[in-house]
Amino acid sequence: MPKPRIVVVGAGFGGYHSLRGLERLLPPGAAELVLVSRTDYHLYTPLLPQVAAGTVNPADVAVPLRSLRRTRLWTGQVTGADLGSRTVTVRHHDGGQSTLSWDRLVLAPGSVTRIRDVPGLREYAHGFKTVIEAVYLRDRVLAQLERADGLPDGPERQACTTFVVVGAGLAGTEYVAQMRLFVASALRAYPRLRAEHIRWILVEHGHGVLEHLPPRLSHHALAVLRSRGVEVRLSTLVDRLTPDTAHLSDGTTVPCRLLVWTAGVTGSPLVEDLGLPLDRGRLTVGADLAVPGHPDVFALGDAAAVPDLGRPGSVCPQTAQHAMRQGRAAARNVAASLGHGRARPYRHRDLGTVADLGGAQAAAAPLGLPVTGPPAKAVTGGYHLYALPGAGNRLRVATDWALNALLGRNTVSLGLVPDAAAGLVRAEQLGIDPPPEHSPAPSRPPA
């Protein structure tokens, strides 16, 4: 009898950890494990602000998927899933297509940047969700310093040294906090530029930064940003963008050459296209992570609205911690559906959140206990080293930190990502969507 095939879509926190769990829980030969992923690595996103800020090497936050020893990796993008015929369609990097059948389907495609109806946003803003974007943003900031250094004092020079970040969640707050220090350190190479030439502006429509953290931590993060000279504009929206100016809802206009958009995500388009019930763009699932009416289909992470049993009536937030733990829960429940072990609902015990603000500053709430400053920094570093999979990656990241402390941060521009590839959303799809003139390679036989 052929082995049942479990197909996992996406190798982020949810997908990667469900496969690690399945490899552990299923006896050898019990099932065929297939992972469809756009990349051959799992990306540890919480360290992306440090990649952008030159304290961690880009490759060190990429965990090789080939380390999943019992899993067959298909690199490509799932473009559709047919729950009736139990197949998914996969588009490969060469443009070719394949059909892959499954007995259990685990959907973990994460989220995509939420594009609001802001004129000019698509054209002129940059996103921050991938390692490609982190590398690009570092280069872009350095390129603007380089250009400003060659300009006379005046409006154009000021615009080149003005950086706007929208969204004060984890990604935006950590990014601006880390980049502020990065630029301060890079300025040593630009004798004609002084710290007072540089403006970092954080725009947030809510009333605070990191509002999901306990108030003491949120206030601490705001105080750190302000003490570093970051202009934090709360209760403010971006109304309109032009190639050289951000128009804000408080009536001000900010001439700038870089705007980074981190104001929210929505579920992957893949789950939207299934025609199943959604909750604000995320696929509705039960507490066992199965899709109602489809007991062989599971969904988790940012793409799924998983009931939060600790807070009846609400769903789990879109965090790495939830996605990782849901991955383990999905593994247990998928294995149980094949007769190995018992299914259990997903129930979250909060280990606390951490936010690294660069330098000696951080905010953390390990097991609900709020800490700030150097003790929080130690907790944050320890948490990342615990949560980052793979001894090799951990050692590399720890070495990056040690070398950074000893030698200072790396402020070179790698120049790997062209402007055209780094537009908002484009980098999230890099290497997948063939350009329009590309004629697709022939379909491959079904597997």
Ligand X SMILES: Cc1cc2nc3c(=O)[nH]c(=O)nc-3n(C[C@H](O)[C@H](O)[C@H](O)COP(=O)(O)OP(=O)(O)OC[C@H]3O[C@@H](n4cnc5c(N)ncnc54)[C@H](O)[C@@H]3O)c2cc1C
What is the binding site for ligand X (CB under 6 A)? 9-15, 36-38, 45-46, 48, 77-78, 108-110, 128-129, 170-171, 268, 270, 301-303, 318-321, 323
Min CB(434)–ligand X separation in Å? 15
Closest distance of CB 326 from ligand X, Å: 8
Q: Which residue number, 236 or 321, has a Cβ lying nearer to ligand X?
A: 321
CB closer to ligand X, 24 vs 93: 93
Q: In what order do the strands lie in the sheet with 354-356?
A: 354-356, 362-364, 371-372
Residue 368 CB, nearest approach to ligand X (Å):
16
Helix (H), strand (E), coil (C) string for 156-172: HHHHHCEEEEECCCHHH
Q: How far is the CB of 4 from ligand X (least distance, A)?
A: 21
Measured from the CB of residue 339, what is the shortest distance to ligand X in angstroms?
Answer: 26
Residue 254, judged by CB atoms within 10 A of its CB (0-12, 13-18, 19+), counts as buried
Q: Assign 391 to helix, strand or coil.
A: helix
User: Phi and psi (nearest 5°) for 322?
Assistant: -65, -45
Measured from each CB, the residue nearest to ligand X is 12
> How far apart are alpha carbons 303 and 268 in whole angstroms?
6
Minimum distance of ligand X from residue 240's CB (angstroms): 25
How many residues would you count in the chain? 447
- For ligand X, the closer CB: 218 or 319: 319
Tokens for 422, please give them.
Answer: 């780094």
Shortest Å distance, C-beta 155 to ligand X: 31
**Helix and strand element counts for the chain (H, E):** 11, 27
Contacts (Cβ under 8 Å, ≥6 apart) of 1: none
Nearer to ligand X, 245 or 333 (CB): 333
Nearer to ligand X, 44 or 124 (CB): 44
CA-based nearest residue to 370, from 220, 185, 197: 220
State the nearest-atom distance from the C-beta of 148 to ligand X, in Å. 26
Looking at the Cβ atoms of 128 and 200, the one nearer to ligand X is: 128
Which H/E stretch holds residue 385? helix 373-387
With beta carbons less than 8 A apart as the criterion, state whether 54 and 411 touch: yes
3-class secondary structure, 205: coil
DSSP string covering 328-352: HHHHHHHHHHTTSS-----------
By C-beta, is 43 or 183 nearer to ligand X? 43
Nearer to ligand X, 6 or 148 (CB): 6
Tell me the C-alpha distance between 341 and 325, whole Å. 18
Interstrand relation of 71-75 and 62-64 (parallel, antiparallel or unpaired): unpaired
